[in-house]
Amino acid sequence: MAGWGYAFSLSKQQVAAAEPPGTSRLIEHELHRTVSGRNQQDDHIVLIPPPSQSGLDPLNWPTWRKYAVLLTMSLFSAVASFGSAGVAPALPALIPEFLVFPERGPPHPLPFSTLTHLVAINVLLLGCSNIFWVPLASTFGRRPILLISLLLSTFTSMWCGLAGTFNSLLAARVVQGIGFGPADTIAPDTVGEVFFIHERGRAMAIYTLFLSGGSFIGGVSGAYIAAHLGYRYIFWITTAMCAGVFLLDLFLVPETLFDRQAALVAEQHPSVVGSGSFSDEKKAGVETVERAIPLGDRMSFRQSLRIGVYRGNLMQHFLDPWRSLAFPGTWVVMLHYGGLLGGLITISTIGPQLLAMPPYLWGDNVGLLGLGAVVGGFLGFLPTYLTADRFMTGKAKKESHGFAEPESRLPALFPALFLATTGIWTFGFCAAHPSPHAWAGMVVGYGMVGFGIMQIPSIGFNYLIDSYHAISADCFVMTTISRAVVSFAWTFFAAQWVESAGAALPFGIFGMIMGLFALLTIPLWLYGKRMRIATAGYLPKHENH
């Protein structure tokens, strides 16, 4: 184990030449002499992780199947986000639905702060349930856990639609949140297992677009659905979408938990790096190293339907998420995500209630607040998709050794972190000073946070996968737990706090917390590689990725 003292005693040259886990030789520089006698350099992207020769290896799957996996996992995240967030703008419509009958006096509706528990408790269980979902997936495979969670999501959404009392609906939301859990952990890890390192940025940007888009669409449409069809239709729509994603997962998403290390050892020629054939395809001026797979070794449809593997060490898998806290990158990403989602969910819960009151009186249109987040999210998707991989590939191409460093992705976070922090303040201060036109500032503030929620998780998830691929799912567990706890706390107490103190103080503090979390990115960017050198001994000996 290298240790912190050793890592920070190295010179810059020694750090640059070091190859801790997460550092990969992505670019191979090759010189060859042209006919005219001039030396010309060709740069080739090396496939990282190196694939085996097995057709069951997810890295060897055909492009259509990889994108089918990406689309299905992205749809799962979108449905979970829609089902969780769609209730928030519909809360004003639920006020007359659930009455309290005291022993004396006339019945009265439940307080709005009590209704917000339908959102807060769902978000809490969505994150915390992964403490058992991910260990089970690491032991028995991704596929059975995804299918079970989708079935649970389908039937509990149906229960939400049938619930006749507030307590029944609250209980249904608890179990529904548990069913949604793998959408935030196992789904992105599954995406990471089918794409190479130079492809993951764009793939994760698409996943995050669906993850954020589900929340935004739910935030816009929830109030309209509740007003015109009844709030129960939010749950019936969620039920139908969960059932559809279940069918897609059943037929299009094979098991992605693959023992690549054993496959490489068993091959007749175990040296797999650089043994492939070069394609003629050019990508951004860099040629990609392609790998030939024997035509007779493709995965059959029957093999793709296989459910379940067994890796053993269930108790160890339950302990692994807590081990991920030894890595500074886990802390930075989980604090980013927790603070960001806390602000976003609080805005989506409190905002519609504010716009339903004077001087706005938007009525059924309170969900239009979410249009700001939709626009912000779309604007955040474009730079993320275009630059997520380019930052890493471009930096590796400039280095003589061709190393790809996860930290090279982090500069893309700075604009999003700034906008998210100032967006929380913008929303809060505009909400604290209501006027006929203050809603515009609230919408813009929500849009700034929407830009952040599109870009920050995408870059952060990629950083975790690149740096700690062997335990990335465990890192996601702690990230979602942090998000769930912060979001639950903010949503649970924010309504009463805003009622008693106004919006400026709560959202001012929320923005300050988000800003402090954002500043942690700077030391991770500057010293992240040294931190990975210091903590390399905490990772498994064989990453198997």
For the stretch 286-296, pLDDT in tens is 444 444 444 34
- Interval 247-262 mean pLDDT: 90
Distance CA 188, CA 392 (A): 19
Tokens representing residue 137 in the block: 């997936």
Average per-residue pLDDT for the chain: 85
Of these ranges, 145-149, 228-232, 473-477, the one predicted with the greatest mean pLDDT is 145-149
> In a 10 Å sphere around its CB, with 0-12 CB exposed, 13-18 middle and 19+ buried, how is residue 61 labelled?
buried
Cβ atoms 121, 141 nearer than 8 A: no
Domains defined for the chain, CATH in brackets:
68-258+314-538 (1.20.1250.20)
The Cα–Cα gap between 356 and 358 comes to: 7
How many other C-beta atoms are found inside a 10 Å radius of the C-beta of residue 99?
12
Backbone angles phi, psi at 357, to 5 degrees: -100, 165
| Helices and strands in the chain: count of H runs, count of E runs | 23, 8
- The token pair that represents 429 in the structure block: 């201060």
Q: ∠ CA 437-443-449 to the nearest 5 degrees? A: 150
Answer whether residue 234 shows pLDDT above 70. yes
CB atoms within 10 A of CB 174: 17
Q: In what order do the strands lie in the sheet with 286-290?
A: 27-33, 39-45, 286-290, 277-283
Q: Is the pLDDT of residue 405 over 80?
A: yes
Residue 506 φ then ψ, to 5°: -60, -50
The pLDDT, as a whole number, for residue 400 is: 62
Radius of gyration of the chain (CA): 24
| pLDDT bucket at 278, cuts 50 / 70 / 90 | very low
pLDDT for 156 equals 98
Mean pLDDT on 497-514: 90
Percent of the chain at pLDDT exceeding 90: 46
Closest CA to 455 of 388, 505, 396: 388
Across the range 338-348, mean pLDDT stands at 86
- pLDDT tier, 74 (very low <50, low <70, confident <90, very high otherwise): very high
Residue with tokens 């005219």: 36
CA dist., res. 405 & res. 385, Å (int): 19
DSSP state of 1: -
Count of CB atoms situated within 10 Å of the CB of 368? 18
Cα distances (angstroms) measured from residue 253 to each of 226, 382, 503: 34, 27, 45
**DSSP string covering 421-449, please?**
HHHHHHHHHHHHS--TTHHHHHHHHHHHH
Q: Quick one: tokens of 417?
A: 């972190």
Please report the pLDDT score of residue 26 as a whole number. 75
In this prediction, residue 170 has a pLDDT band, given cuts at 50, 70 and 90, of very high
Residue 56: partners with Cβ closer than 8 Å, 6 or more residues away = 258, 299, 303
Checking if the pLDDT of 30 tops 70, the result is no
Lowest pLDDT segment from 24-38, 115-129, 233-247, 373-387: 24-38
Residue 262 pLDDT exceeds 50: yes
- Residues 336, 461 contacting (CB under 8 angstroms): no
Q: Is the pLDDT of residue 297 over 70?
A: no
Give the mean model confidence (pLDDT) for residues 147-174: 96
- Decide which of 543 and 123 is more confident: 123
Contact criterion met (CB below 8 Å) for 349 and 85: no
Place of tokens 């935004």: 216
pLDDT at residue number 276: 38
Instruction: Tell me the C-alpha to C-alpha distance, in Å, between residue 389 and each of 196, 385, 457.
Output: 11, 8, 15
Mean pLDDT, range 205-221, rounded to an integer? 89
CA gap 484, 122 in Å, rounded: 9
Question: To 10 degrees, what angle do helices 200-228 and 390-398 make?
Answer: 170
The pLDDT value given to residue 2: 66
Q: Please list the alpha-helical segments (H only) found in 292-437.
A: 301-304, 314-323, 328-355, 370-387, 390-398, 413-432
**Residue whose C-alpha is closest to residue 237's, from 250, 253, 221, 248:** 221
Q: Which of 451, 457, 442 is nearest to 420 (CA)?
A: 451
Q: What is the pLDDT of residue 290?
A: 42
The whole-number average pLDDT for the span 7-30 is 84
Of 78, 63, 351, 346, the C-alpha closest to 238 is: 78
Band (37; pLDDT cuts 50, 70, 90): low
State the average pLDDT over residues 188-209: 90
DSSP state of 406: G
Grade residue 28 by pLDDT with cuts at 50, 70 and 90: low
Give the mean pLDDT of 413-418: 94
pLDDT bracket for residue 285 (50, 70, 90) = very low
